[in-house]
Amino acid sequence: MRILLVEDDAPLVRVLAKGLREKTYAVDQARDGEQAVYLGSVNEYDLVILDVMLPVKDGYTVCRELRASGRRMPILMLTARGSVDDRVAGLDCGADDYLTKPFDFKELLARVRALLRRAAIFRAPVMRVADLMLNTASHAVSRGGRLVTLTAKEYALLEFLVFNQGKVVGREEIAQHVWDDNFDPFSNVIDVYIKRLRAKLDADSETRLIHTRRGEGYLLRAGSGQDDV
């Protein structure tokens, strides 16, 4: 999942971005409200973490402008002001949740997971495709009862494919949700990661789960397909 982190406190940004990336999220950063509106308008984010006190435009303004432009991704607002009126103001301008500073990173992660679950049709914490099992809370992956060890980025890619099981997803769509704005669209990194996933998932199994559709992208499902390569 791809997150836009909007915060002007540099030490806090480093801590949050590092922690979120370690939990497999792709993270873009904005240091002021104007940059946040721009990034939120040109990129597809699964969630925005938005501080209230920002240079140029405050968080309330950013939230209203994103909603006015038609953006419907969940927005989690952060603020040092915890009064009822402040929370109401944040929710009224279009935010989905509100977290008061200082906060525990574990609570932030729990709220992020809850908002991402809420953003689409509810998905069970444990998802299955054939004999593949993926636990979205613990990030444990197994196939046929065999534990599969994945890197953070391999897991993020597999989770995105599982969430879209039965649907062909193109490289651009994968890049938008699994990688951040440093992704090089001319690289073959997605193909490399797909190859790694296949090697780990298909070991000791006769059934391939990740299929390639020439000129379209990738499809995760049980069984073979005519367009596989």
State whether the Cα torsion 125-164-134-21 is positive or negative.
Answer: negative
Q: Give residue 228's pLDDT.
A: 52
**Same domain assignment for residues 13 and 90:** yes
The alpha carbon of 176 is separated from its chain's Cα centroid by a whole number of angstroms, namely 9
Any domain includes 110: yes
Number of domains comprising the chain: 2
pTM of the predicted model as reported, rounded to 2 decimal places: 0.64
**Same domain assignment for residues 106 and 61:** yes
pLDDT tens per residue across span 78-114: 988 766 777 788 788 889 999 998 899 999 999 998 8
CATH number where 56 lies:
3.40.50.2300
CATH number where 161 lies:
1.10.10.10
**Same domain assignment for residues 90 and 54:** yes
Written as six digits, the tokens of 223 are 């069984």
**Same domain assignment for residues 63 and 83:** yes
**Same domain assignment for residues 210 and 171:** yes
Proportion of the chain above pLDDT 90, given as a percent: 44
Of 64, 91, 118, the position where a domain reaches its end is 118
Of 85, 118, 151, the position where a domain reaches its end is 118
Of 118, 146, 176, the position where a domain reaches its end is 118
Residue with tokens 């006190």: 53
Any domain includes 135: yes
pLDDT tens per residue across span 128-183: 888 899 988 788 999 988 999 999 889 989 999 998 888 898 888 888 888 877 77
Going by C-alpha positions, the residue among 37, 135, 150, 154 that lies closest to residue 94 is 37
d(CA 60, CA 92) in angstroms, rounded, equals 9
- Whole domain around residue 9: which residue ranges? 2-118
